Structure formats: structure tokens, C-alpha cells
Amino acid sequence: MRNFAVARRRMVREQLAAAGVADRRVLAAMEEVPRHLFVPKLLRHRAHQPCALPIGYGQTISKPFTVGLMSALLELRGHEQVLEIGTGSGYQGAVLSRLAAAVISVERIAPLAARARRTLAELSYDNITVLAHDGVCGLADFAPFDAIMVTACAPYLPPLLVSQLADGGYLLIPVSKGREQILYRYRRQGNEVLIEQSVSCRFVPLLPGVEEGAEQEEILDADIAPDSDVTGGPGREEHLA
């Protein structure tokens, strides 16, 4: 039987800590959350490799470094309410749930939301709620949020998300700049939103609406996605403010 706990420890040591992710709470969370349970069964042997993996519907689970870096950039301390836009497999939300008091995660592809909800329930992660919802609109009924993470690329900073961010809170979102995508960390200070950090990245596009549909067929090993979504690292962050 494959020892996934050993694989997680090695993943954290070699792909996160060695690459500059230093937040101990993030490292501990990613050592705890069973990443292999968030990928299709036929790909579980590849769950801890340094690459993104397909989860169906043209979506991926981000590579471990991306999850670790984005989690660390939110600087969570344990008391926050977090909004995640783009549930996907549920893995990033699961990691956030180990770092914050409560997480609400929205996913526009309803079958993915249902699958993630089942996985999280089976793991008894009861401080994360998954909704099939249009993430472009945010979730005003539950705002303000201490932190907002968007795991899809937007053409610009959505004003509705800014309005739902608490004063002093961080908003992490990829934004397209021509052919390039930049992962920005914004911080709200009163009525101003400051750009604090950025790094090159690659994500699926942020789309409006909610998409219904039947569960897809099992993912095949041949369907492996491109091996990177964040192409920089902590050492390459551009401090803009």
C-alpha cells in the first residue's frame, strides 16, 4: 500500500520549504491534508508530484507549490473568514480551512462543487462550506471577508470582490496582462486598494454563471495537465507598494 503520509512530508519539504514557502502553519496544513483524496483515483500515484493535474470539466488541481504560495500570501492567523472563488477539487479550500476560522468556497461548475462537498464531508472538514455559485459576483450576503482568494484568471480586478473585502484584508487574484497572467495581492485600506505583491502565473479563466452537467468519466493518466500554474516563487515576487 502506498504511504501517502510519507509522500506528503516529502512534498512539503522538497517542493514548498526548499522553494521558500516559510509559513509554518501553511507547511503543517499541507502535510496534514490528504492531497491524494482530491484527485481522480487513477492519478493518485501522481498526487504529490510538482505538477497540476486534471479533475474534469477542463479544470485542474494546482501544483503543491502554487497552493502553498497562495495560502502563505494570505497571511492567515486562524480567526479569519475567507472566501475562495473556484473550489475545483476542494483541495485549496481544505488547506485554507486548516488556517482560518471559516471558509466559504464557490464553484461555478455544479458537479465539481458537489464532488468537493462530498470529499470535504468525508474528511469531516466542517468549517468549510461549498456552494455552486457565480464567483464573479462574490458572495455579498456573507461579506465582509477577511481574505478572498480567486483561483481563476480575471481580465481585471472585479469591483464587487473589492467591496466584499474587509478593511485590512487581502485579495489574491490572477489578472491577465496581454498574453501574460499576473497573480496580484491586493490589500484594502479604507477606500483604497493597494497592490502589494505580484508573480507570474497561469490559471483557467474566471467565467460568469453556474454550469450544470452530469459527472464526467474517470480521468485518465494520459490527460495530465501542464506542469505549472504559478511560474515564480517567493524570491521573484515584485513588491509594488
Instruction: List all residues 6 or more positions away from 209 whose beta carbon is below 8 Å from its beta carbon.
Output: 108, 134
How confident is the model over 156-199, as pLDDT tens digits? 999 999 999 999 999 999 999 888 999 999 999 998 999 987 88
Q: What is the DSSP string of 175-221?
A: EEETTEEEEEEEEEETTEEEEEEEEEE--PBP--S-B--PPPPPPPG
Instruction: Tell me the torsion sign for CA atoms 53, 204, 238, 102.
Output: negative
Q: Distance between alpha carbon 139 and the CA centroid of its chain, in Å?
A: 17
Res 226 pLDDT > 60? no
Instruction: Place 232 in a pLDDT band, splitting at 50, 70 and 90.
Output: low
230 near 149, Cβ under 8 Å? no
How confident is the model over 10-27, as pLDDT tens digits? 999 999 999 999 999 999
pLDDT of residue 1: 44
Instruction: In whole angstroms, give the CA distance from residue 25 to residue 95.
Output: 10
Please work out, in degrees rounded to the nearest 5, the angle formed at the alpha carbon of residue 133 by the alpha carbons of 184 and 85: 20
- Write down the CATH number for the domain with range 4-236: 3.40.50.150
User: What mean pLDDT, rounded, does the chain reach?
Assistant: 90
Instruction: In whole angstroms, give the CA distance from residue 61 to residue 81.
Output: 23
By annotation, the residues acting in catalysis are 62
The residue extents of the domains of the chain are 4-236
How confident is the model over 32-85, as pLDDT tens digits? 999 999 999 999 999 999 999 999 999 999 999 999 999 999 999 999 999 999
| Helix (H/G/I), strand (E/B), else coil: 174 | strand
Instruction: In whole angstroms, give the CA distance from residue 181 to residue 194.
Output: 18
